[in-house]
Structure 1
Amino acid sequence: MNATPLIRQALGPEWERLGDVIRRHYAMTPFSDDYVCVRGTMREVWHAPWAALLMPFGRLFGALVPHQGTDVPIEVHYRCRTDDPHLYWDRVFHFPGRTPFHFRSHMEAAPTGGSEVIEYVRFGIGMRLAVSAEEGALVFRDRGYLWRFGRLRIPLPLGLLLGTAYVEERPDPSDPDHFTMKMLLRHRWFGDVFRYSGRFRLGKCE
């Protein structure tokens, strides 16, 4: 039973290169009931007009945020569980005039080990993510999609449609308890498909 935090496992010695607020953010212990919450505002939540065609599939798999907006309040709940080593996410977007939208997923260490994790949504659909520490920031880079079926992990060519993901969480130098984040899905031919960015505070969500 490995009690090292998931992101620390992936980064190894690079963990120490992360900013303090990012390390505190991801210091949760596998096989525990550790819980962290961050609250903030998404400066932008956007998708390309044609990407609306993908939303029914996104809702089915729980993988895409179907609404757009600016200055969108959000909190993100991170949990570990006592019965497995994974990290669970619940991102709650509060779009004006709409029911709060939950984007849920969980992360696992890649079976190959090394500096890679897999983020899963519903029905075993996952994205392989290379993890790195860059100038204090935690960076995730898309390494392809897969479908987990039993013990099999079958590569999926979803990148041909959705593009390639990039995510970063970067310490805010103006406040030791704040960080910024951005997520971008960019297609090599069609440009930006999805993106959102915001600023968060590490602390309790009451």
Structure 2
Amino acid sequence: MKIGILGSGAVAQALAAGFLQHGHPVMLGSGTPAKLADWAAQHPGAKTGSFADAAGFAELAVLAVKGTAALAVVRAAGAERLAGKPVIDATNPIADAAPVHGVLQFFTGINDSLLEQLQHEYPALKFVKAFNSVGNAFMVDPQFQGGAPTMFICGNDDAAKQAVRGIVEQFGWEAADMGRAEAARAIEPLCMLWCIPGLLRNEWAHAFKLVKPA
């Protein structure tokens, strides 16, 4: 499956490398594609281009940018180029403000989420929240005691969630479908929880796992 990634930062590059490792053709999209020359040289076979190029290339797209830029990047990519395709939303609504006692500040409220804002602005797109609740070093093939960690996903389109579940499991995670877009109100704050040990104690090597009765 051809993967178009909207973004060029650490998360975008980590996921791009993972998709390449697992045999998917990849195009990394950026507002300034020239800055990806070094990355492309280190990843033979990968393509780079604009946000619009990556959206057009994709059979499955990934939105991996700062939360404050998410709506504008989808606009730059062109919703018409993403129509009908699963779009993994790996963003978090982190505000441009300092953490408070290790807790990130969000620009969304408790009864809102960035995924819902994206879905409201672009109702024809098939957004699925995933890969927002762990650091980029562990997004692909994580190795933890206790087995595969859990990746929580949600979205309004069942077929898109099934496609994303396949990617999540290929990348070594257990997928837990939490339902429709409103569930992102709970999934996005997992980013806050994941970051607290790091921001307070410089502990960044962990992930979440949903456990069930035997």
Task: Please say whether Structure 1 and Structure 2 have the same fold, judged by a TM-score greater than 0.5.
Answer: no
Q: Which has the higher helix share?
A: 2
TM-score, with normalisation over the residues of structure 2?
0.27
Question: Per chain length, whose mean CA-contact separation is higher, i.e. which structure has more relative contact order (CA < 8 Å, sep 6+)?
Answer: 1
Q: Which has the higher strand share?
A: 1
TM-score, with normalisation over the residues of structure 1?
0.28
